[in-house]
Amino acid sequence: MPLDVIGAGFGRTSTKSLKDALETLGFDRCYHMFEVREHHPEHRPLWAAAHRGEAIDWEALFVGYRASVDWPSCNLWRELAQFYPEAKVILTVRDADQWYDSVMRTIYPSSQAMRTDDDPQRRASGEWVNTIIWQQVFDGRMNDRAHAIRVYERHLASVRAGIAPQRLLEFEPQAGWAPLCEFLQCPIPDTPYPRVNSTAQFLARRQAQLKSPT
């Protein structure tokens, strides 16, 4: 089963909401960082190899999936778009300063804390995220706000320039179902567009995890 949709937007551009939206529209299942953490930790070395430029059996990795969004796949949007030439590409966008603030309050400190976790699996996951995102994409300079925002804006520009306009949707999730459904040629659902994994929700979930007994 080939991928029908490739999400090119960085994490913290409402990619989890897009995952839920795509699954509601029938593009079930949709790959996301949550899938690696919760269902496929064995995929971590495959993604690490892919980020090193090694050949990957994409069809084997994406068995059972019709779409992919968020990290780690958004880093390799170009390779995936070439491998799946019929797939449509969605670039989720967000104000750059809001994006940076969200990252630095949620996934960046969380993943860095995992690197010193007592659990070896969580430590391994934290190191993996640090390598393929914070080091390889942002040169280990996430605390440099101007640099991180430049990387973010450069990424947006490269996707806009690298995908044919008829194949690309630049999507602001607050626009809701209409542009997404028009692009994917799907009827608009009767349910509200998903709004999940906000900064407040992320922090509340993280706090609950820290309070839970080990």
What are the distances in angstroms from CA 13 to CA 63, 97, 145, 207? 25, 12, 17, 22
68, β-bridge pairs: 6, 31
pLDDT of residue 72: 97
C-alpha–C-alpha distance, residues 170 and 158, integer Å: 13
Q: Where are the domains positioned within the chain?
A: 5-211
pLDDT of residue 196: 77
Query: Are 197 and 17 within 8 A, CB to CB?
Result: yes
Question: Residue 211: exposed, middle, or buried by beta-carbon count in 10 A (0-12, 13-18, 19+)?
Answer: exposed
Of 107, 91, 103, nearest to 155 by C-alpha is 91
C-alpha–C-alpha distance, residues 168 and 157, integer Å: 13
CATH topology of domain 5-211: Rossmann fold (3.40.50)
What are the distances in angstroms from CA 174 to CA 17, 94, 150, 170, 192? 10, 10, 24, 12, 11
Q: What is the H or E stretch that residue 6 is in? A: strand 5-7
Query: Are 123 and 110 within 8 A, CB to CB?
Result: no
Q: What is the H or E stretch that residue 169 is in? A: strand 168-171
C-alpha–C-alpha distance, residues 97 and 100, integer Å: 5
What tens-digit pLDDT sequence spans the chain (214 residues)? 799 999 999 999 999 999 999 999 999 899 999 999 999 999 999 999 999 999 999 999 999 999 999 999 999 999 999 999 999 999 999 999 999 999 999 999 999 999 999 999 999 999 999 999 999 999 999 999 999 999 999 999 999 999 999 999 999 999 999 999 999 999 999 999 998 755 666 655 555 554 444 4
Q: Token match 């995992």: residue? A: 114
